[in-house]
Structure 1
Amino acid sequence: MRYIIIGAGAVGGAVGARLAEVGHEVVLVARGAQYTALREHGLRFLAPDGEHTHRLPVVDGPSALGELRTDDVLVLAVKTQDSEVALDTWGPAPVRGGGTAAEQLPLVCAQNGVESQRLALRRFRHVYGVCVWLPSTFVEPGVVSAAGTPLTGILHLGRYPHGTDDTARRIAADLEKARFEAPVVPDVTRWQYAKLLSNLANAVEAVSGPLTGQAAESLYARVRAEGEAVLQAAGIPYASGAEQKEMRGDKVHLVPLAGAQRGGGSSWQSLTRGTGTIEADHLNGEIVLLGRLHGVPTPLNELLQRLATTFARERRAPGSLPVAELVRLADEAVAHAAG
């Protein structure tokens, strides 16, 4: 199978690099400075086993490839806020022998949250969800790092909304040859919602810095409790902390990488790069949406969603809101909701 990585950033670049290293055909899809850097210098991939430069085909859209192949796998690795454009662009692309990508090809959503696969299922017949546990960083245009060893990451994979099939198992086998663990599961959303609860911390980190210290950790515990209450009210199951810990074990140990310091997660990186957008609408905002649908107040997640999107829109520096001030705003939001 040929893997077309739509969004060759931190996650997409790491997955593409590892697949290429074990001999799979990989096409990277990028735009702007990333597209230029990949075309001119290749993909520099920094990892515990060394630095690798991959000279891979790079395109900015399907027209550059002509007809897609029947053995192509589309891996959607853009941020959720960019999914609509990507799906609209790639869905109508013609496939050799007839039909379109949306009709014929598997689309694998390797993203945070749960919204992209919903969007995809409106357009694509064959949608696969991934619970992405892959600590990776967009270092600069053309350079991506992943600090995990001995495995680079763990990628639970399954059909969306549920089930498994031979395609999922073939993709998983390719990933497992490429330094990933890729369990094929019939209930991938159960793992994704568990990851979503962890990702609620992304907005805290983005606006007030790493979750070190009692104040930040206590705030995140309150934010997560809101999320858990919402999922319970909505009847949405998720993998327990114990189950996740057992699955991960010591399989992905993070090591420092020279020239690739990991400052924070995906939302932190969005603010650092000044992209103008952030995933909060699809992380904290997912909890807000479900809370409104099921009558559960979510003042803390509403606050974090609003702050994170404001930071992104106004291109504020990540971590620039003191934790004490964030806690004060959180207490005010809860009091207002209760009053």
Structure 2
Amino acid sequence: MRIAVIGAGALGGTFATLLAQAGHDVTVTARGAGLAAIRERGIRLEGGFGKGQSHPTALERLTETPDLALVCTKAQDAEAAIGDNAAVLDGAAVIVIQNGLDGVDTARRLLPGSECFGALSIIAANYTEPGLVTVTTAAPTYLGRGSGPADQATRHWQAVLAEAVPTQAIDNFVGAQWTKLVVNMLNALPAITGLSVQSVVAHRGLRRIMTLSMREAVRVGLGRGIRFGSMQALGHRRLRVFALLPVWAGQVLPLMMRARMGTVPNLGSTLQSVRRGQRTEVDHLNGVVVREARLAGTAAPVNTRLTALVHEVEQRGSFLTATEVVERFSRSR
């Protein structure tokens, strides 16, 4: 099958390599040093899925319509990336593998002739250098669309992806996006402090802030009438209970997530962007909680502050210490 992967970073490089190893004809889009490295040496994969290498066709823009396209860019780059390739993408099946809430809707709007799906990947991977991806946590990917049961088309593409990458078709994909959004509250504090996710969760003060941001995200989702989807042992009932817990008890959630990561430092995608000097997707993570809170007629002060601090780090080019972060939140009470 002809499969295009738009955005050959950490996730895109992982999917491209595993799909090529499964026998598919893979084309990737990339730019700059990444494009040059892939053309010269291919994509090297290390870590959780084992060692592998692929030599996909590497282009700045697609030139032919694939059977299936995976959009693996950062959330803030999705519209431009899809738009750049719309002339050949429209009519292909498209799976948006992305954080945030808006990717599938963006694809539907720009590609009216395509069947569009969303995928939520729990794979943790570091884009170590151009053309090299290290998977720190090998985990499932969840595929679906809409708020109803997984349909036949979803199950078809799940079977295709599952030949290469552990993939499950899920019901209530929109609810699962919100569940993943809660999980993605892990990202901001590493980007602010430069610490791994495991180190942030191990720090009592930072873990408290992370718990507050997660609880706030759940409460905003409930205020928007969301029924959270099930993934990674999280679901609507458990998250509703979590939203009611005092902060000291709710800290079991980030501690549980840390335990699943193992000991290899998980940098989080937002910290990786900061280290590369790239714009982060914080506005589509913590920032989208703030947006949805406004739509629900409420506020999200914790995620408002975290969004601002990530932008501060982006602008100043240096991290805050854990003590500075805790003090900032103490002053904002």
* 1:243 counterpart SS class: coil
- Measured at CA, do residues 243 and 255 of structure 1 come closer, stay the same or move farther in structure 2, by a change above 3 Å? closer
Distance across 1 between alignment mates of 2:31 and 2:221 = 36
- The alpha carbon displacement at 1:214 in A equals 1.0
* 2:169 counterpart SS class: coil
Q: Which residue of 2 aligns with 1:108?
A: 95
Q: Which residue of 2 aligns with 1:269?
A: 272
Residue 99 (structure 2) pairs with residue 120 (structure 1): no
Q: Deviations over 1:15-46 (max 9, x none)?
A: 11111111112111111110000001111111
Q: Which residue of 1 aligns with 2:53?
A: 53
* 1:229 counterpart SS class: helix
Q: Deviations over 1:152-175 (max 9, x none)?
A: 321111124655444322221122
Which of 132, 138, 141 matches 1:155? Answer: 141
Residue 139 (structure 2) pairs with residue 146 (structure 1): no
- The alpha carbon displacement at 1:280 in A equals 0.6
- The alpha carbon displacement at 1:242 in A equals 7.5
Q: Which residue of 1 aligns with 2:177?
A: 192
Residue 69 (structure 2) pairs with residue 81 (structure 1): no
CA contact (8 A) 2:145 2:174 kept: no
- The alpha carbon displacement at 1:216 in A equals 1.1
Q: Which residue of 2 aligns with 1:34?
A: 34
RMSD in angstroms over aligned alpha carbons? 2.4
Distance across 2 between alignment mates of 1:230 and 1:135 = 26
5+ residue gaps, structure 1, are: 94-100
CA contact (8 A) 2:136 2:266 kept: no
Q: Percent identity?
A: 28
Distance across 1 between alignment mates of 2:19 and 2:289 = 34
Which of 126, 129, 141 matches 1:137? Answer: 126
Write out aligned runs for 1:63-82 (5 A).
65=63, 67-69=64-66, 72-82=67-77
- Measured at CA, do residues 83 and 161 of structure 1 come closer, stay the same or move farther in structure 2, by a change above 3 Å? farther
Distance across 2 between alignment mates of 1:272 and 1:68 = 34
Distance across 2 between alignment mates of 1:244 and 1:172 = 21
- The alpha carbon displacement at 1:263 in A equals 5.1
Residue 18 (structure 2) pairs with residue 18 (structure 1): yes
- The alpha carbon displacement at 1:47 in A equals 2.6
Distance across 1 between alignment mates of 2:232 and 2:149 = 23
CA contact (8 A) 1:29 1:35 kept: yes
Q: Residue 155 of structure 1 aligns to which amino acid in structure 2?
A: T
CA contact (8 A) 1:43 1:54 kept: yes
- The alpha carbon displacement at 1:82 in A equals 0.6
CA contact (8 A) 2:313 2:320 kept: no
* 1:92 counterpart SS class: helix
* 2:111 counterpart SS class: coil
Distance across 2 between alignment mates of 1:233 and 1:273 = 36
* 2:23 counterpart SS class: coil
Distance across 2 between alignment mates of 1:147 and 1:171 = 25
Q: Residue 9 of structure 2 aligns to which amino acid in structure 1?
A: G
Number of equivalences: 305
Q: Deviations over 1:110-133 (max 9, x none)?
A: 011112222222122321011111
- The alpha carbon displacement at 1:313 in A equals 3.7
- The alpha carbon displacement at 1:331 in A equals 3.1
- Measured at CA, do residues 45 and 117 of structure 1 come closer, stay the same or move farther in structure 2, by a change above 3 Å? same
Q: Residue 159 of structure 1 aligns to which amino acid in structure 2?
A: R
Q: Deviations over 1:251-310 (max 9, x none)?
A: x97677xxxx645010010011111x0011000011100111112221110111111123
Distance across 1 between alignment mates of 2:99 and 2:232 = 21
* 2:234 counterpart SS class: helix
Distance across 1 between alignment mates of 2:215 and 2:262 = 31
- The alpha carbon displacement at 1:136 in A equals 1.0
* 1:147 counterpart SS class: strand
5+ residue gaps, structure 2, are: 239-255
Distance across 2 between alignment mates of 1:2 and 1:294 = 42
Q: Residue 224 of structure 1 aligns to which amino acid in structure 2?
A: M
Distance across 1 between alignment mates of 2:147 and 2:86 = 19
Write out aligned runs for 1:249-264 (5 A).
262=265, 264=267
* 1:193 counterpart SS class: helix
Q: Residue 213 of structure 2 aligns to which amino acid in structure 1?
A: V
Q: Which residue of 2 aligns with 1:98?
A: none
